[in-house]
């Protein structure tokens, strides 16, 4: 109990602290981040990703025979 009284008397009111407004802002940022992560997870679950699909390959000769290319 005496340690609590010492802490109360050691508190300096001239020091700047974030107070209630700082806590509310940080709490709101945390909640907003959590909601964005949940939304992102929901949207990523909807994506149909086929890992076996190969990207289209361009033949090296097909690039060289481009009629619009000047050179």
Q: What is the DSSP letter of 57?
A: P
**Token digits of residue 9:** 């008397």
Separation between Cα atoms, residue 62 and residue 59, nearest integer Å: 5
Per-residue pLDDT of 6-65, as tens digits, reads: 777 777 778 878 889 999 999 999 999 999 999 999 999 998 877 777 666 666 665 555
pTM for the full predicted model: 0.50
């Amino acid at each position: 109990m005496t340690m609590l009284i010492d802490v109360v008397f050691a508190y300096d009111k001239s020091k700047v602290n974030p107070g209630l407004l700082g806590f509310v802002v940080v709490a709101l940022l945390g909640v907003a981040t959590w909601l964005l992560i949940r939304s992102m997870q929901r949207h990523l679950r909807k994506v149909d990703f086929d890992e076996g699909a190969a990207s289209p390959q361009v033949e090296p000769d097909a690039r060289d025979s481009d009629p619009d290319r000047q050179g």
